Amino acid sequence: MKILVTGGAGFIGSAVIRHIIDNTQDSVVNLDKLTYAGNLESLTEVSDNERYAFEQVDICNRAELDRVFKEHQPDAIMHLAAESHVDRSIDGPAEFIETNIVGTYTLLEAARAYWDELNSERKQAFRFHHISTDEVYGDLPHPNDEDSNAIDGQDLPLFTETTAYAPSSPYSASKASSDHLVRAWLRTYGFPTLITNCSNNYGPFHFPEKLIPLVILNALEGKPLPIYGKGDQIRDWLYVEDHARALYKVVTEGKIGETYNIGGHSEKQNIEVVETICAILDELRPRETATSQAPHSDDEVIASNNEVIENVPPVIASAAKQSTASSYKSLITYVTDRPGHDRRYAIDASKIANELNWHPEETFESGIRKTVQWYLDNQQWCKNVQDGSYQRERLGAL
């Protein structure tokens, strides 16, 4: 079959495309606007494959979408194109409303018009898979909450497919809106949709504004490793290649009208994530003593904007103090928390396990080690992102 993947030059979309080209006989049309987050260098290994095609198109552009549907005649759509960075959504929500809501609406309408014209056999087989986030559910009780009776996070609730929506940020609100549109198109027009909501992804080709690649690359450059607030926010981490396998299972085997939650069974506090990366780097790429200057004194923790953060919880502050100057941990720097920051996300992925027999293959420990090693082995990809030269690929793509 031929699958149209929107946002295929992004972090997860490129993993999906590599997975499809490497492991199936299906063809892929990658439809991507190439915003700052779109990087064709993440697709170098598949770009010459005859089953791969690229279209530089904005999902808000109806005429261009109509043209692409007519020319490529896809059998299914995997919709990943989005503005995806929470911090950017707080600084400037407009693009999130435009791409995530108006763009999803425009894509739904173009896809529905195309689907309407298909012969009955192809119409029956067609599917529109919308990729969304667990952030639409808001946040969950945290083991550190005063009213929590949980011991070590046991017995705390998880997000299920029926959890009520309660988004906190402009990003998650825009994704929640797009989920509602997709469900409404199913219910009102009988348009065959599926939705997946996943937890935080990590792995190769991740844009360095996100926590894990930012920490790896900053550490290698001896720069501060910024941690929001106390660093005790909990996220469930999902290795991107496990996610790509799950998404392909859903688009090919999932039941129309269903929602599937996808998670990695890996709840970690942000500080644990950062300390784990530091420990792996200490082992794989020990710091040179000459560059091992701690970014803060023993008595205070200074944010990257030179603001002194007070009231850092003693246990975390002392962990930073204990780290030797030659460990990457000494670069950890606490910065003012993000407004409205959700405390805990955690996914119950039993539905996709039971119904589609999908299970993550990586534990956090194995996946994070692979990820750190990938960043060490792919410095050129990182350098091209950091100096902006990856964006020159766009000109070649036009």
Name the site residues for ligand NAD (rule: CB under 6 A): 6-7, 9-13, 32-35, 37-38, 58-60, 80-84, 99, 103, 131, 133, 175, 198, 200-201, 207
> Which pair of structure tokens corresponds to residue 143?
């083991």
134 is catalytic: yes
From 41, 55, 134, 275, active-site residue:
134
Please give the DSSP secondary-structure letter assigned to residue 118.
S
Nearer to ligand NAD, 7 or 295 (CB): 7
Is 135 tagged catalytic?
A: yes
Judged by beta carbon, residue 204 or residue 295, the one nearer ligand NAD is 204
Among candidate residues 64, 135, 241, 393, the one labeled active-site is 135
372 phi-psi bin (left φ>0, alpha ψ -120 to 50, beta other):
alpha
Q: How far is the CB of 1 from ligand NAD (least distance, A)?
A: 21
Q: Is residue 239 annotated as part of the catalytic site, yes or no?
A: no
Question: Under 8 Å CB-to-CB from 16, ≥6 apart: which residues?
Answer: 5, 8, 78, 80, 244, 247, 248
| Closest alpha carbon to 334 in 235, 232, 208 | 232
Residue 269 β-bridge partners: 234
Q: Which of 52, 105, 137, 171 is catalytic?
A: 171
**Under 8 Å between Cβ of 91 and 170:** no
Among residues 37, 140, 137, the alpha carbon closest in space to that of 87 is found at 37
Residue nearest to ligand NAD (CB): 10
Pairing assessment for the beta strands 308-309 and 301-302 based on DSSP bridges: antiparallel
**The pair of three-digit structure tokens given for residue 303, joined into one six-digit string:** 């944010």
Shortest spacing between CB 87 and ligand NAD, in angstroms? 12
Closest to ligand NAD by CB, 302 vs 397, is: 397
Minimum Å gap between C-beta 361 and ligand NAD is 18
Least separation, in Å, of the C-beta of 40 and ligand NAD?
A: 9
Q: Least Å distance between CB 235 and ligand NAD?
A: 9
The distance of closest approach from Cβ of residue 14 to ligand NAD in the complex, given in angstroms and rounded to an integer, is: 8
Shortest separation between residue 281's beta carbon and ligand NAD, angstroms: 22
Cα 137 to chain centroid, rounded: 16
**155, two tokens:** 């017995």
Instruction: List alpha helices for the chain, DSSP H.
Output: 11-23, 62-72, 86-91, 94-96, 104-116, 120-125, 170-189, 211-220, 240-253, 270-284, 314-322, 350-356, 364-377, 379-386, 393-397
Q: Give the other-Cβ count within 10 Å of 385's Cβ.
A: 22
By C-beta, is 131 or 335 nearer to ligand NAD?
A: 131
Virtual torsion, Cα 187, 190, 193, 197, nearest 10 deg:
0
Least CB distance from residue 36 to ligand NAD, whole Å?
8
Which alpha helices (DSSP H) does 73-169 contain, by range? 86-91, 94-96, 104-116, 120-125
DSSP label at residue 306: S
- Indicate the residue among 176 and 294 with the shorter CB distance to ligand NAD: 176
Whose Cβ is closer to ligand NAD: residue 59's or residue 309's? 59
The 3 state secondary structure assigned to 187-219 is: HHHCCCEEEEEECEEECCCCCCCCHHHHHHHHH
Q: Which is nearer to ligand NAD, 160 or 326 (CB)?
A: 160
* 167 versus 295: smaller Cβ distance to ligand NAD: 167
Catalytic residues: 134-135, 171
